[in-house]
Structure 1
């Protein structure tokens, strides 16, 4: 079982690779659409701006390859910008007179700029950079062994909209989704950088590797049943 990290030519992916290897995963870093399409699991890291990343991914055939991998059951983890790209569209670096750049479309909604003031008019620094707490009330396999209120490292200027996919939130000028999951599927996104978030981040990456291994084992069992349904019942 290997986890594919998507390289869309926008930055250094070594810290994400290192974090997953440290979590016990076999990792492949690639920009090749055919490798992404066949992945056991996919990680889309967070480097650059929405429009630039989306354009690069489309040009290299990666958008459709990621969609195909996820449609085939591959677990997915989007990190920071990678989480933003899970949504339908984003305004970051969008052209003034054209359509909004399109994302993967796993979750409805548009990713937009983080407000610089809260509801009371108090100013906040944007980009939001540094450690902040992550709050969640429902248990989730991605946060197994991680307590609500744990601190993770953030660096971003844009935020995803609230949706049925929200599984955790953080506050900075506004309350925003800091983790999402496509309902009923092992398709996750996190706004923070687990690879820069010390022990809590390492645990989250290990949890994703566990989710990926479980999905691979389930897929292998299903393939075995399909090939020999009689023997599988014995």
Structure 2
């Protein structure tokens, strides 16, 4: 048996080196793809979080408009005048909501798919007003924007059952605005994300 020559040994070392370089290259490519994928996932997650915050800010203003004892009629009856840019926040906390009156034929669509809503969804008492109120922020002292790329907007409707607008009202006092009232609020970030919230308010009536 003859011993391997020096030339054959050099060829084996070259082959092993090439294989090792190939493996290292494949590992590097795999690592780069993994980093790229993680970067994209992080960017998408940050973008989704931004949209969530913008739409959530709009919901907070929609709910904030119902705080305080004033303007009970505006909190129970839709008015196109309240759904306008002139309806700004007041420092005294007495604010008017943008309460929409949705046509019965479009109510279910409005609740399930607010992004499909148009002015045709509105009853006559809401015609002429904005369908979506621009976000002003919950600080009456300043007008802020939730995001420059995705403007925040909001609206609210009174959630009622047929024939019942108030819950737990004393007999005959629903006409005075007494009872528990439920509201559905919509908030959106541009046209990219829509959120909804519900809340209940207890009112003692117009004379209290």
TM-score in terms of structure 2 length: 0.19
| Structure with greater proportional helix content | 2
Compare CA radii of gyration and give the structure with the larger one. 2
TM-score in terms of structure 1 length: 0.18
